[in-house]
Structure 1
Amino acid sequence: MVKVAHVQLSSCCGCLVSLADTYEKLLDILNSIELVYCQTLMDVREIPDNLDIILVEGSVCLDDHHALELAEEVRKKAKILVALGACAATGGVTRFCRGNQMSKPVHSSFSPLTEVVKCDLAIPGCPPSPEVIVNVITAALNGDAEYLQPFAELAEKGEACGCDLLYKVVNKSLCMGCGTCAAACPTRAIEMLDGRPNVLKELCIKCGACSVQCPRIRFPKLIEEIE
């Protein structure tokens, strides 16, 4: 039985809500895994050792030594460490600190989990959709490396925004105009104009959901075969 844990750092619990919102799909997954730790759903005080997958939501407060120790602990105890949601994957709204201001010495400093410890996968979104969470867990259980590749790249890079989509796809005339990026954006920062995505930078929270969901980035070989 695959052992899975959910750990929460500095977050709003939105990612946990998405995980719980998988409903019957979560029940299907629970037939294949054993959820051994979750601060909100279970009365377990210590994170067990030798876990297969640990889902971590929230950014790491660099002024809190307990948060730093927890980040190191989950890295040591997980075979696959997953940064769940924009805060853990790229920093999300915590990048802006207070009131959309740039960080100052008087403010607490937050960094995404991907910049504090090495993560194997990162699931973007604020919060990530229940379907993506289910698909990533299922792909990890089945060893589907092709599906997991963009999530692994996001974990390694630790940074993403709508500008990446423009640079990698639109500016290279690779966009198919499918609208997947606009549908995936949690803040509606992407609008389709004349069949092409237009990124509203003032609304973009740099979660990376658009880049990870773009078929051109996720399945380049498959798209080439179809064309």
Structure 2
Amino acid sequence: MDKPIDAPTGVPGEKPSGKPTFAYIHFAACSGCEISFLDNFEKLLEIMDMVDIRYMTLINDNTEFPKADIVFVDGAPCLQSAESVEELKKARENAGYLVSWGGCSTTSTINNFARGGQAPQPQHESFPPIKRLVKVDAFVPGSPPGPEMAYNVIRAFVKGDTDYLKYLTSYSVGGWACGCDLIKDIVENALCIGCGACAFACPTRAIEMVLGRPCINWERCVKCGACYAQCPRSFQPVPLMDRMMEEL
């Protein structure tokens, strides 16, 4: 295998000599996001043609985390584990473009419930979203995200499709990244169009459309942020819309 590049570019579309390099690092999570990545089947071969996969525990034997042009971070690091925190910081240092892949790394999701409710013990562990510890370049929420998102993000990075990456770059869920954000930001501001995209995106079926509006089952909500991310009214790419209007 070739020697890793000296310094990642971190710029979509700017290729180093040879193929852009890719790494995938995994923290506390169920591994569903990693399996979803591999569920691309024949498109996984296209991904391997687009990038040189230098580190991913399920498909290669590398033990040292290398420098890479694009790095996917899956899962939430344990705040009480110095090893996990240092590993995340090292990934940020070695990454040109860092992608928060999946709900656990983006919003912490089910890991939010790791605080409190346990049997008495000397200390409780917490698993924050990675954006609280390092700078993140793009967010792909969902528990797990669809397999096609891995292909689309890597392809957009390699091709320099900044219009596609723009939403993922600016993604920022407020509050607890749960259905309450959807109600507060979208429904209560009269932005909901009743399309049902939020209900379709919910991995735990916590959202039911009632009279054309989302109704949240709070006991099922795992705070993954998928509903907010899939809502077409949660983000309006104004420059892109302006260009589309000019072309009409």
Band of TM-score, shorter chain? 0.7 to 0.9
Structure 1 residues 52-131: aligned runs within 5 Å: 52-97=69-114, 106-131=123-148
Paired residue type of 1:19:
F
Q: Which residue of 2 aligns with 1:146?
A: 163
- Partners of 1:120 and 1:155 within 8 A in 2: no
TM normalised by structure 2 equals 0.81
Provide the identity percentage: 42
Letter aligned with residue 208 of structure 2: E
- Say what the alpha-carbon RMSD is for the aligned residues: 2.6
Equivalent residue number for residue 58 of structure 2: 40
Deviation of the 1:137 alpha carbon: 2.2
Equivalent residue, structure 2, for 1:206: 223
Of 154, 157, 163, 1:137 maps to 154
The 1:116/1:60 distance shift into structure 2, 3 A limit, reads same
Structure 1, residues 63-90: CA drift from partner, whole Å, max 9, x if none? 2111111011010011111111111111
Offset at 1:100? 5.7
The 8 Å contact of residues 80 and 125 in structure 2, kept in 1 or not, is answered as: yes
Change (3 A) 1:220 1:115: same
Cα contact 1:118–1:156 (8 A) shared by 2: no
Choose between structure 1 and 2: higher strand proportion.
1
Higher helix share: 1
Deviates more, 1:179-188 or 1:214-223: 214-223
Counterpart of 1:61, as a letter, is: C
Paired amino acid for 1:77: N
Query: Cα gap change, 1:139/1:105 in structure 2, threshold over 3 Å: closer, same or farther?
Result: farther
Which of 40-49 and 71-80 deviates more?
Answer: 40-49
**Partners of 2:122 and 2:141 in 1: CA distance:** 28
What TM-score, normalized by structure 1, do the two folds share? 0.88
In the alignment, structure 2 segments of 5+ residues that lack a partner are: 1-18
2:154 aligned counterpart, secondary structure: helix
The SS at the match of 1:216 is: coil
Indicate whether 1:29 and 2:42 are aligned. Answer: no
Q: Is the 8 A contact 2:36 2:144 kept in 1?
A: yes
Higher-Rg member (1/2):
2
2:52 maps to a residue whose letter is: E
Which residue does 2:205 correspond to in 1?
188
Alignment length (residue pairs): 224
1:136/1:17 CA distance change after superposition, 3 Å? same
C-alpha deviations, 1:85-133, integer Å up to 9, x for none? Answer: 1111111111110686699862222212111111111111111111222
Closer, same or farther in 2 for the Cα pair 1:28/1:103, shift >3 Å?
A: farther
Q: Structure 2 residue aligned with 1:18, among 33, 36, 45?
A: 36
Residue of structure 1 in register with 2:23 after alignment: 5
Residue 175 of structure 2 contacts residue 181 of structure 2 at CA under 8 Å; is this kept in 1? no
